[in-house]
Structure 1
Amino acid sequence: MPGDVSAAIAERMVARRKEHKLSQTALARKSGVSLGSIRRFEQQHEISLTALINIAFALSCEQDFETLFSQPYYATIDD
């Protein structure tokens, strides 16, 4: 379910934020994402893609996006 994926991403982001010893306010400053957006993501799991990418760069996790949608779809084994 999409909500489950959003929640899992938010939980991992919180873990990375804490590993970097950043408060929500510090992450907001470092990423250029509003504090309200960071709070909403952590609590309600809602965020824009642009804000998520900015947070990923601030937490040195931008490479995680390189594998998103990277695998081709094969309809049959012959493909």
Structure 2
Amino acid sequence: MSFTFDVDEFEQTPQEVLAQLVQRTREAREKAGLSRQALADRTGISMSTYKHFEETGQISLERLLIVAEALGCLSDFGQLFAPRITPKPSEFPSLDQVEQAFASKKPAKQRKPK
């Protein structure tokens, strides 16, 4: 098991996260080959509401979920606010265990030059 920690993840403002969400939604719509109107028609959301979202980032959560579903991204919202698994200190391997693991690995065979 490996753990990563991305400091940049915590340095974003809500406005930056919102701008990224709008950009990703626009990119997903374009990748799907849909115009704003086509996506609005597919979701039952008015064109003006969807256009307002892409221009300002403002949309109801329910409508955003409908858009995500139409773009095949609804499952991404399942991770929002999901409990994060934080290992206990006792779950980390000791330095001795790490050294033993590396020592037990056989070096890769090297090819002889022809």
After TM superposition, the score normalised by the length of structure 1 is 0.86
Select which of 29, 44, 59 maps to 2:41: 29
Structure 1 CA distance for aligned equivalents of residues 75 and 22 of structure 2: 17
* CA distance in structure 2 between the aligned counterparts of 1:48 and 1:73, rounded to whole angstroms: 30
Residue 61 of structure 1 corresponds to 73
Structure with the bigger RCO (C-alpha within 8 Å, sep 6+) is: 1
Unaligned runs of 5+ in 1: none
Displacement of 1:59 in angstroms is: 0.4
- Structure holding more helix per residue: 1
Give unpaired runs (5+ residues) of structure 2.
1-12, 90-114
**Superposition CA RMSD, Å:** 1.6
1:7 maps to: 19
Q: What is the Cα deviation at residue 45 of structure 1?
A: 1.1
SS in 2 for 1:70: coil
Which structure has the greater CA radius of gyration?
2
Q: How many residues align?
A: 76
Distance 2:29 2:17 in 1: 18
Identity %: 34
TM-score normalised to structure 2 length? 0.61
